[in-house]
Amino acid sequence: MLNTNMVTESPFRENLYEILSVERTATIAEIEQAFQKAKLVFLGEHDALYTLFDDGAKQAVWAKIELAYRILRDTARRQRYDRQLSEGAMPPIDELQRWLDEGVVRADGMSELQFDRRGQRQGESSAVNRASRAVRGKTLSQTLVERLKDPALLGGEFLKLVREDYGVTLDEIASETRIGAAHLRFIESEQFHLLPAKAYVRGFVAQLVALLKLPKSMVEHYMSRYPPVD
């Protein structure tokens, strides 16, 4: 069964600011910083998570943090969210996820693209969701689904085939996940010596696997391809 990268509604009922632990008045820089800090904790194998979170719970938290970041980092989406929050409404998670897909048109008619500061770096912001948009609604070709049954085949090459099957480029994934394109390339070519510490790679692969709608077990199959430590 293929799992999707859906965030589930949190029973704690926190708002997105609380999820990122920033103030309602936080600047973009503060949001960015909070996200990077959270990334260090929840992406990889941080000592602080030991015995508190298993892999599934950790990924659920990470998905929540990522969603919060992607809404708050985007000025138009953040304004829309703030408006609802100040009216006492807490938009449900699936609605927030729709926002990420549709692209918000601002009141002054300026498109999200024009407004978004990331637009300064040419083309990047238009690619923000392109990877998940490309993947959404599509299913994997039958030959690849067959291949999933054989753990021996589930390595970097397989990840590459799946990505190509969805028609997603490495750059699109890089700009959406913020994993460097070079790292992604090394993951696909299994050039482990060129990659950062294993714990980080596991985090990268977990993100990649979630984005490509592959089963979570794929992460461990991939990690088992690391040469044994002597």
Q: In sequence order, what are the residues at sequence separation of 6 or more whose Cβ sits closer than 8 angstroms to the Cβ of residue 115?
A: 75, 76, 106
Choose the binding region for other proteins from 13-21, 114-122, 127-135, 211-219 (rule: CB under 8 A). Answer: 13-21
Rounded CA-CA distance 226/12 in Å is 38
Is residue 11 within the footprint of other proteins (CB under 8 A)?
Answer: yes
CA 116 and chain centroid, separation: 19
Q: Specify the 3-state DSSP secondary structure of 105.
A: strand
Beta bridge partners of 105: 111
Please identify, using beta-carbon distances, which residue of 11 and 228 lies nearer to other proteins.
11
Whether the CB-CB separation of 38 and 73 falls below 8 Å is answered with no
Write down the least CB distance from residue 14 to other proteins, Å: 7
Is residue 41 within the footprint of other proteins (CB under 8 A)?
Answer: yes
Is residue 10 within the footprint of other proteins (CB under 8 A)?
Answer: yes
Choose the binding region for other proteins from 10-18, 136-144, 146-154, 214-222 (rule: CB under 8 A). Answer: 10-18
Tokens 């708050």 sit on residue: 72
Is residue 1 within the footprint of other proteins (CB under 8 A)?
Answer: no
Among 2, 40, 105, 199, binds other proteins (CB under 8 A): 40
Whether the CB-CB separation of 96 and 80 falls below 8 Å is answered with no
Is residue 93 within the footprint of other proteins (CB under 8 A)?
Answer: no
Site string for other proteins, 119-158 (x = CB under 8 A): ----------------------------------------
Choose the binding region for other proteins from 32-40, 92-100, 162-170, 215-223 (rule: CB under 8 A). Answer: 32-40
**DSSP type of residue 166:** H
Please identify, using beta-carbon distances, which residue of 45 and 165 lies nearer to other proteins.
45
Scan residues 59-88 and list those touching other proteins (CB under 8 A).
Answer: 61, 64
Scan residues 43-62 and list those touching other proteins (CB under 8 A).
Answer: 46-54, 57, 61
Rounded CA-CA distance 80/16 in Å is 13
**Minimal CA–CA distance to 45: which of 35, 56, 58?**
58
Is residue 216 within the footprint of other proteins (CB under 8 A)?
Answer: no
Q: How many helices (H) and strands (E) does the chain have?
A: 13, 0
Please identify, using beta-carbon distances, which residue of 38 and 211 lies nearer to other proteins.
38
Helix (H) or strand (E) holding 39: helix 28-42
Whether the CB-CB separation of 42 and 62 falls below 8 Å is answered with yes
Among 12, 102, 121, 122, binds other proteins (CB under 8 A): 12
Binding site for other proteins (CB under 8 A): 10-14, 21, 37-38, 40-42, 46-54, 57, 61, 64
